[in-house]
Each structure stands twice: as structure tokens, then as C-alpha cells.
Amino acid sequence: MAKRIDVSDLNIYYGDFLAVEGVNVSIEPRSITALIGPSGCGKSTFLRSINRMHEVVPGGRVEGKIVMDGQDLYGPDVDPVDVRRQIGMVFQRPNPFPTMSIYENVAAGIRLNSKKMKKSDLDDLVERSLRGANLWNEVKDRLDRPGAGLSGGQQQRLCIARAIAVEPDVLLMDEPASALDPISTLAIEDLMADLKERFTIVIVTHNMQQAARVSEQTGFFNLNGVGQPGRLIEFNPTEKIFSNPDQKATEDYISGRFG
């Protein structure tokens, strides 16, 4: 079910301002791809353009193609809402719905879309998703308590459970562990290693060591100067990026000469 994503000649705009230029990349299914680079160089913008969340920002638009298993996500008759049902996203700060319980949060993707499901099926789905997010044992006794009453790491895992409950093809993660302590970060990284069996995962991270730990492929984004658009400088297997990168800029960033 995990799908492959091919990006060709992607330009991303905020109004008239070109934020990211000329991205060409192929993202492998059933693997973890990491996007690294200094702040403000377009990694999150690129990530959000994959599931068409970039358009939510007023003035956000995209030129170029993103093709997922033969389907152009930006095709003229493609509904962004459908795209987002197939591509899930986890955000930097955990954002469980405050008016809903833990159970309802995980089931939100189903319930809010008014998909009819028998109660027993929904219970199974919630349990599977919470187990998949490594949260089941901690919350199985309090599924009807508010979702906002958990710790930061638990909330983030709840958001991951919520995202995988709708069984997307691709899971996008925008710095999922940057707001968490090291123990929770470890839990999230272990979780990603489990999830990659079922999903394609793309993760944006500021933490280079995290990218080195978890990903198979890594992409390095950079800016050429202030006010310049961000570009994908290099995209290679993770081992190569961190030991013997092709581009000098990549090597400079990895070794900490800037960034």
C-alpha cells in the first residue's frame, strides 16, 4: 500500500515570492526519506506541498508535477481533500483535538469524514492504531479521557496514531520529535522503524544525527543567499550523504561549517 512519489521540476510560491525552486526527486516506498538543511531553506514548504497543505496558506501555489503511483497530485481534476486522505501528516507541535477524548482523537479521521463504521470495527481500528503508535499500553484504561491530558511525547504519539488510523499511503512528518525530550524522541524513532514496513515516510528534521539514525535516503536543502529560493542540493542514500557527499555545500553543512 505504501506508494512511490516522483517530483519533477517543482517550484513553490508564496504569492509572487519563489520559495523553493526546481526540485527533482524520487521517494522510495516502504522507506524513510529524511530532508535536512538549515532553517528557512524550504524543507517544510516542500513537505507541505506533497500533501497539498501548502495551498491552505493564502497565496500558496505550486508549479510542476508530483506524481504518486501514476497519479498527478496537482492534476486539474484532483481534489486536495482526497490527496490529504491518502497522505497523512504529523506536525512539529502535538495538536490533539482538545474537545475530544483519546479514543475520539484516534477515530477523528474516520468520524470527521462521516465514514460509517460499526462500533466494533472502529474499536479494533483505534486499538490497532494505538498499538502501531506504541501508545496502547499507556492509555488503554483511559480512552475516554481528554486527549490534551497526556504528556508531550504521548500527545505526539497520539497524533501519529491519529494519522495512521486513516491508513494513508504516505506519512509526512515535520520535525516530529523537535518538541520532545530524548526519551520520547527515541520512542518516536523506534516507532518510525516499525512504521516504515507499512508506509512511505518522509521526515523533515533539524537534527542531522536523527536523519543519520533513521533514514535510508537523505535530501539536503539549501539557500544560495538571503531572499533566494531554496533548492535541493543533493539527494542520495544516507550513508553516502554522511560519509562522502557529492556536493561541497552538503559536506560543509554536515561537518558543521555552517547551518
Specify the residue, 75 or 98, whose C-beta has the smaller distance to other proteins: 98
Q: Which stretch binds other proteins (CB under 8 A): 35-43, 91-99, 121-129, 247-255?
A: 91-99
Specify the residue, 147 or 245, whose C-beta has the smaller distance to other proteins: 147
Looking at residues 199 to 258 of the shown chain, list those that interact with other proteins (rule: CB under 8 A): none
Q: How far apart are CA 76 and CA 219, in angstroms?
A: 29
Q: Show the cell assigned to 259.
A: 547551518
Q: How far apart are CA 53 and CA 57, in angstroms?
A: 8
| Nearest-approach distance from CB 127 to other proteins, in angstroms | 19
Q: How far apart are CA 176 and CA 153, in angstroms?
A: 10
| Nearest-approach distance from CB 117 to other proteins, in angstroms | 15
Helix (H, G, I), strand (E, B), or coil: what is residue 35?
strand
Q: How far apart are CA 142 and CA 212, in angstroms?
A: 36
Is residue 31 within 8 A of residue 39, CB to CB? The reply is no
Looking at residues 61 to 90 of the shown chain, list those that interact with other proteins (rule: CB under 8 A): 81-86, 88-89
Of these, 16, 39, 58, 118, which contacts other proteins (CB under 8 A)?
Answer: 58
Specify the residue, 58 or 182, whose C-beta has the smaller distance to other proteins: 58
| Nearest-approach distance from CB 112 to other proteins, in angstroms | 5
Helix, strand counts (H, E) of the chain: 11, 10
Q: Which stretch binds other proteins (CB under 8 A): 105-113, 117-125, 203-211, 249-257?
A: 105-113
Of these, 15, 98, 152, 237, which contacts other proteins (CB under 8 A)?
Answer: 98
| Nearest-approach distance from CB 5 to other proteins, in angstroms | 16
- List the end-to-end C-alpha distance of the chain, in Å, as a whole number: 37
Looking at residues 166 to 195 of the shown chain, list those that interact with other proteins (rule: CB under 8 A): 166
Specify the residue, 45 or 51, whose C-beta has the smaller distance to other proteins: 51
Would you list the DSSP string of 46-100?
HHHHHTT-GGGSTTEEEEEEEEETTEETT-TT--HHHHHHHEEEE-SS----TTS
Q: Does 112 bind other proteins (CB under 8 A)?
A: yes
Q: How far apart are CA 40 and CA 20, in angstroms?
A: 10
Residues that bind other proteins (CB under 8 A): 51, 53, 56, 58, 81-86, 88-89, 91, 93, 95-99, 108-109, 112-114, 145-146, 148-150, 159, 162-163, 166
